[in-house]
Copies of this chain bind each other. A is one copy, B any other.
Amino acid sequence: MMAGRGRMQAIAAAMLVVSVGATPAADRRLPAAESPSDVLARSAPSDWRALDPENTLYLELTAGRVVIELAPSFAPGHVANIKALVRAHYFDGLNIIRVQDNYVVQWGDPDGKRDSGTALRAGPPEFFRPLQRAAAFHALQEKDVYAPQVGFVDSWPVARNPATGQEWLTHCYSMLGVGRDTAPDSGSGVELYVVIGHAPRQLDRNVTLSGRVLRAIELLSSLPRGTGNLGFYESADQYVPIRSMSVAADLSPQQRIDLELLRSDAPIFADYLRALRSRSAAWFVEPTDRLEICNARIPVRVKP
């Protein structure tokens, strides 16, 4: 909401309805008086799923730790590559080399000279996977601009095309992709990027998405933009050093951050989406009653 700091209390409560448009807002809003945070407040522990430490990465910057969840069920080959690179300390001492406004942050080896050791250099693209059973798919009721169907699978944003038998992760804010050259199979994982702008959905099915940032993306999104072509930093003194990357499972439990995600297969998830649509807070005059896939952010929390 767009209010001054001292005034937020005024926003929270009652059902003040001010009808500005032709549609009577009150009629639509009454059945869904819960706010998104109301819904989360009544969630049960079983409505949340923990991250798997074996598929969680920590990107350690001077400013702090960025937590990444990998998506082995969508990109098993690339996830295996990335983990192999991380465990070979490939990224330690490398840098963030590109920050393009409203687009991506990218890190890797600008010279392409670092030996990636036994880690695979490239693999077949994993731009999509075969359509999975519909039961696991929580469809959004809304149409999508880019795909026949969108929704969530295991709390990941997913698009589907029944006609082609494909489903794929969508390029929403925070998604982690594997940079590649012109050849579709040239993405090995030595160049990684994170979306920090409006969803560049034109990249869907053109890059292998392999995960997403779930914590401290602001350490990436607030970096100075690169002034070179495509937002690359123009000199090495602008680079943002990567202290290390690690797989959470390789750290002691005390060194980890235990995050949880709201489960898209829990019944409460539909209530959460409904609350996002209906925006019952008094501040909203005309709730859109619509939800676009990349605006349906999955709640994340530190395990209580």
Contacts and interface: CB of A to CB of B under 8 A. Distances in A.
A89 interface: no
Given A193-B2, A203-B2, A291-B145, A198 B222 contact: no
Contact of A182 (B10, B108, B286, B294): B10
Contacts of A203: 2
Contact of A2 (B177, B283, B286, B294): B177
A290 B182 contact: no
B2 A180 contact: yes
Interface residues of A, number: 88
Given A164-B22, A202-B287, A8 B229 contact: yes
B22 A163 contact: yes
A67 to B, nearest CB: 14
Interface of A: 1-8, 10-11, 16, 18, 20-23, 97-99, 101-102, 104, 106, 108, 110-112, 125, 127-128, 142-146, 163-166, 172-174, 177-184, 191, 193, 197-207, 217-218, 221-225, 228-230, 232, 276, 279, 282-288, 290-292, 294-295
Contacts of A207: 2
Contact of A106 (B2, B20, B282, B286): B2
Nearest to A173: B198
A229 B3 CA distance: 12
Nearest to A124: B20
Contacts of A224: 218, 222
A184 B295 contact: no
B285 A21 contact: no
A95 to B, nearest CB: 12
A276 B202 CA distance: 9
Which of A165, A198, A200, A294 lies at the interface centre, i.e. has the most chain B CB atoms within 10 A of its CB? A198
Interface centre among A104, A204, A292 (most CB of B within 10 A): A292
A128 B222 contact: no
A-B pairs with lowest CB-CB distance, top 10? A218-B225, A2-B179, A22-B164, A145-B292, A101-B218, A205-B286, A173-B198, A146-B290, A5-B232, A198-B198
Given A101-B218, A182-B10, A182-B16, A202 B279 contact: yes
A18 B8 CA distance: 53
Given A106-B2, A181-B3, A285 B97 contact: no
A197 B222 CA distance: 12
A173 to B, nearest CB: 5
B180 A21 contact: no
A16 B223 CA distance: 35
B4 A110 contact: yes
